[in-house]
Amino acid sequence: MDPVLSFTDRGIYCAAGDFYIDPWRPVDRALITHGHADHARSGHGAYLATRAAAPVMRHRLGDIALDEIDFGERRMIGGAAVSFHPASHVPGSAQIRVEVGGQVWVASGDYKIENDGLSEPFEPVPCHHFITESTFGLPVFTWAPQADIAAQIDTWWADCQTSGRTPLLGAYALGKAQRLLTMLNPDRGPILTHGAVENTNEVLRAQGLTLPPTHRVTPDLAPKEYPGALVLATPSAFGTPWARRFGPVSTAFASGWMRLRGVRRRRAADRGFVISDHADWTGLLSAIKETGAENIYVTHGYTDIFTKYLNSAGYTAAVVSTEYEGEVVEETDT
């Protein structure tokens, strides 16, 4: 019997349903786990994504033929039974479950285990074959609870207010930025946002997510009218004329890569907050264990080392070549 999913140079392919999952070359029919650029690309004939992921995809990809599906809803595509389950990576992100002839495969896209209070909480999906990322698949990557990081950010913000600097916090415009917004203490001061962040905020607010009040930075905005404010921006805005309007700043990045002192120092920011929308080492291992799968396919990240470890731990694991990027510390936009 053919495998339910196979790995082609266009993407992850299901022959029984004649569709691709997160393909990186144009295909007729694409099932999309979430709206980040390395998973949801333009140029496909037809798209299927969760109802919660759809608005961001339309915002990013424009007028596409996008069909929507609810979490947990079961749908037949050709000979394959398909359903989407929360991956907790960003709002609307999904693991895609595909069942053909009693064999269950799950393509998990990008995921994390911790409930961030914004994305739909991660749901373990029992399966025979599990396709996983390994962006942070090394034992040196372990995350502190979100509340600890929120406290660190708040202390930094307060220090900036004392020293007269504007805190400039850099993060992905989709997902990480909104998660950080929910972690900020709104009593501390006003929150200003870069246009790329605020555009995504608007899309997510419109679909019913609750975010704290923010002020979009426009050419007319006078920073002086927002004393003690924190500025949330994409990292690409750092050091540009756009950022100069805030006077002396204290810069910070929020990324899992900030766990490594070397990366923190290369970014040359004043602070590095260790927070990621990808699972850490223990998260990856617990997620894999909970699926009950024996066959594991590792798509991106520290694939070689992680796969070797899985094999030593009794799984049958293999590296598969894809064009997913995981968390890119240099990422300028999603």
Which residues form the interface with other proteins (CB under 8 A)? 138-142, 257, 259-266, 268, 270-272, 302, 304-305, 308-309, 312, 321, 323, 325, 328-330
We find the least distance from the C-beta atom of residue 309 to other proteins, in angstroms, to be 6
We find the least distance from the C-beta atom of residue 325 to other proteins, in angstroms, to be 8
Instruction: Please identify, using beta-carbon distances, which residue of 120 and 327 lies nearer to other proteins.
Output: 327
Alpha carbon 160 to its chain centroid, in Å, reads 28
Instruction: Please identify, using beta-carbon distances, which residue of 123 and 325 lies nearer to other proteins.
Output: 325
Instruction: Please identify, using beta-carbon distances, which residue of 77 and 260 lies nearer to other proteins.
Output: 260
Task: Mark residue 106 as left, alpha or beta (left: phi above 0; alpha: psi -120 to 50; beta: remaining).
Answer: beta
We find the least distance from the C-beta atom of residue 227 to other proteins, in angstroms, to be 23
Q: CA dist 203 to 88, 178, 226, Å?
A: 18, 11, 24
Give the DSSP H/E element, type plus range, for residue 309. Answer: helix 303-312
Give the DSSP H/E element, type plus range, for residue 285. Answer: helix 281-291
We find the least distance from the C-beta atom of residue 270 to other proteins, in angstroms, to be 6
Instruction: Please identify, using beta-carbon distances, which residue of 110 and 120 lies nearer to other proteins.
Output: 110
Instruction: Please identify, using beta-carbon distances, which residue of 74 and 266 lies nearer to other proteins.
Output: 266
280-318 as b/e, with b when 16 or more CB fall inside 10 Å? bbebbbebbeebebeebbbbbbbbeebbebbeeeebebe
Q: What is the DSSP letter of 122?
A: P
Q: CA dist 332 to 50, 119, 236, Å?
A: 25, 22, 5
We find the least distance from the C-beta atom of residue 52 to other proteins, in angstroms, to be 29
Instruction: Please identify, using beta-carbon distances, which residue of 202 and 323 lies nearer to other proteins.
Output: 323
We find the least distance from the C-beta atom of residue 275 to other proteins, in angstroms, to be 16
Instruction: Please identify, using beta-carbon distances, which residue of 219 and 262 lies nearer to other proteins.
Output: 262
We find the least distance from the C-beta atom of residue 272 to other proteins, in angstroms, to be 8
**Residue 182, exposed/middle/buried by CB under 10 A (0-12, 13-18, 19+)?**
middle
Give the DSSP H/E element, type plus range, for residue 261. Answer: helix 261-267
Helix (H), strand (E), coil (C) string for 320-332: CCCCCCCCCCCCC
Instruction: Please identify, using beta-carbon distances, which residue of 127 and 288 lies nearer to other proteins.
Output: 288
Instruction: Please identify, using beta-carbon distances, which residue of 209 and 263 lies nearer to other proteins.
Output: 263
Helix (H), strand (E), coil (C) string for 40-90: CCCCCCEEEEECCCHHHHHHHHCCCCEEEECECCCEEECCEEEEEEECCCC
We find the least distance from the C-beta atom of residue 300 to other proteins, in angstroms, to be 9
Q: CA dist 50 to 33, 85, 206, Å?
A: 8, 9, 16
Name the token pair of 220.
Answer: 């007319």
We find the least distance from the C-beta atom of residue 115 to other proteins, in angstroms, to be 21
